Amino acid sequence: MVEQSGRPDHAFPEAQRAGVYRAIHERRDVRAQFLPDPIPPEVLARLLEAAHHAPSVGFMQPWDFLVIDSLEVRERVHRIFERENARAAECHAGARGMLYRRLKLEGILESPLNLCITCDRERGGEHVLGRHSIVETDLFSTCLAVQNLWLAARAEGIGVGWVSILDPAELAEVLSLPASVYPLAYLCLGYVGDFLDRPELARAGWRQRLPLTERVHGNGWGEPLASTPLKRAIDARYDSS
């Protein structure tokens, strides 16, 4: 289709656009709402394919996916979490510490499936196109695979929880990872009883979403937007949310 302006119209139909934005806004880091129902193989295959279609610098595709359904492996990972979480709790005193200890921060054993998305830091060889100046682009690219999977999972009605309170070296040992492979994201997957209307940490009072109106700068840090129409559009969206 070509618009009257002559510019090709590559936009999705309105209903499809709404679905994309809905997945973005309703995605949640799930910890406590998992159901025991297994994820059908064809659904999991779609999620992994979505993750594998993430963009990557130099098309290096540094990710691999470890599908973990072994209870023994998950119990070993859970023991790492428990120790690291106890250490993290010591960083918070008083009421903040009490709140931290009440938070549910993982679903390793409750979810029917765990998934570790790794980053092979040697994928693509010594000289990857576009990676010369910023070596960490392999890690950034793998994060995009995580986000692809997360949004696809939300569209499928599947919850995802990222467990970051783990020692990566110990996790790599449990999963028998090669020396060049970094365990970037340890995820819990499963159908859920409910998707919360707000992020769990926001509901618990730990931290709230920062206003977009305060996070957009102009041509330099702290500079106001030169485009008044853009500022008005952002203000309008924030006021209506």
Q: Which residue ranges make up each domain of the chain?
A: 26-207, 210-241
Number of other CB atoms surrounding residue 183 within 10 Å: 22
Q: Express each pLDDT in 123-172 by its tens digit.
A: 999 999 999 999 999 999 999 999 999 999 999 999 999 999 999 999 99
Assign domain 26-207 to its CATH architecture. 3-Layer(aba) Sandwich (3.40)
Reduced DSSP (H G I as helix, E B as strand, rest coil) percent helix, strand, coil of the chain, to 5: 45, 15, 45
pLDDT at 240: 55
- Residue 133: φ, ψ to 5°: -85, -35
What average pLDDT score do residues 106-123 get? 98
Q: Express each pLDDT in 26-71 by its tens digit.
A: 999 999 999 999 999 999 999 999 999 999 999 999 999 999 999 9
| Helix 94-102 and helix 71-89, axial crossing angle in degrees, nearest 10 | 170
Average pLDDT, the chain: 94
For 93-131, give the DSSP string.
Answer: -HHHHHHHHH-----TTTSSEEEEEEEETTTT-S--TT-
Six-digit token pair at 174?
């449990």
* Predicted confidence (pLDDT) at residue 5 exceeds the cutoff of 80: no
What band does 4 get if pLDDT is binned at 50, 70 and 90? low
pLDDT at 148: 98
In 3D space, the residue among 67, 72, 100 whose CA is nearest the CA of residue 86 turns out to be 100
Q: Where are the beta strands (DSSP E) in the chain?
A: 63-68, 113-120, 158-162, 181-191
* Predicted confidence (pLDDT) at residue 7 exceeds the cutoff of 90: no
